[in-house]
Amino acid sequence: MVDTQLRARGICDPRVLAAMLAVPREEFVDEALRDDAYGDWPLPIGGGQTISQPYTVAFMAEAAELRGDEKVLEVGTGSGYGAAVLSQLGAVVHTIERIPALARRALSTLARLRFSNVHVHLGDGSLGLVEESPFDVIVVTAGAASLPPSYTDQLAEGGRIVMPIGKCKSSQHLYRFRNQHGALSIDDLGTFAFVPLIGDEGWRAT
Ligand code: SAM
């Protein structure tokens, strides 16, 4: 996976590659899907949601430019895999999921595998997680039509937000926002397809 899916497509941060090697992806998917765990595609995790393909997880982690001392918010816990990867790269990770069954299962997987610097929260992550803010990095694994104002409010000086945004629910561009002295700079990192961010500052549930 690391050579053929990540290095070959330009992921080169050695810390990100090491994190992708360290986290056992097969532990975050259903027993029946374990043989497919390292495939170059997303996999279903229940509740109509998916665990992103390894390349997408690594790309977002690299874009977050983590050095090891950051407080991170991940929005969209899903299986817990992305949070586990981020936990290898930052100091502490808060991850929030809106679907109770997914949050419960991710909590139990992360505890069993002893990812002790990951904290799982249940709630509407389109509002961020104000009680734990400010964050150095916010990684959002579901797409919205625009950047939720709560994220900019909860971002530390010098902080980054990595988030898919698009006017269609199922196709977005991935953006990196950087807070530089109170102003946001924006990098467009290309086209991706994520599930929708459902919530008060995201899409309406249908
Ligand atoms: N990071 C996950 C993993 O490693 O398995 C994959 C996340 S999946 C692509 C996106 C997740 O975002 C889904 O689990 C979905 O339920 C969640 N989600 C969507 N809207 C949300 C919201 N407002 N707050 C929290 N989670 C949300």
With a cut of 90, say whether residue 97 has pLDDT above it.
yes
Rounded to the nearest angstrom, the distance between the alpha carbon of 161 and the centre of ligand 1 is 16
Closest-CA residue, ligand 1 atom 15, reads: 76
What angle separates helix 14-22 from helix 54-63, to the nearest 10 degrees?
140
**pTM above threshold 0.85:** yes
Ligand 1 in contact with 142 (CB < 6 A)? yes
Q: Where are the domains of the chain?
A: 2-192
Calculate how far, in angstroms, residue 141's C-alpha sits from the geometric centre of ligand 1.
6
The answer on pLDDT for 101 being more than 90 is yes
What are the distances in angstroms from CA 163 to CA 146, 158, 166, 175?
10, 16, 10, 5
Q: Whose CA is nearest to atom 18 of ligand 1?
A: 76
Percent of the chain with pLDDT over 90: 98
Q: Tell me how far the alpha carbon of residue 80 lies from the centroid of ligand 1, in angstroms.
A: 10
CATH architecture of 2-192: 3-Layer(aba) Sandwich (3.40)
User: Residue 141: CB within 6 Å of ligand 1?
Assistant: yes
Q: CA angle 145-146-152, nearest 5°?
A: 150
Q: Please give the pLDDT value at position 119.
A: 98
| pLDDT at residue 206 in the model | 79
Determine the Cα–Cα distance for residues 140 and 124; give it in Å rounded to an integer: 12
Q: Is the CB of residue 55 less than 8 Å from the CB of residue 36?
A: no
What Cα–Cα distance (Å) separates residue 128 from each residue in 42, 52, 55, 73, 193? 25, 21, 25, 8, 21
Both structure tokens of 82: 């992305």
How many angstroms separate the CA atoms of 58 and 95, rounded?
17
Q: Which of 75, 113, 204 to mutate to test the pocket of ligand 1 (most atoms within 8 A of CB)?
A: 75
What tens digit of pLDDT does each residue of 44-64 get? 999 999 999 999 999 999 999
For residues 82-89, give the mean pLDDT: 98
Pocket test for ligand 1, best of 77, 126, 154 (most atoms within 8 A of CB): 77
150 is catalytic: no
pLDDT band at 30 (very low <50, low <70, confident <90, very high): very high
The finding on whether 87 has its CB within 6 A of some atom of ligand 1 is: no
Over 90: is that where the pLDDT of 170 sits? Answer: no
Report whether 26 contacts 34 (CB < 8 A): yes
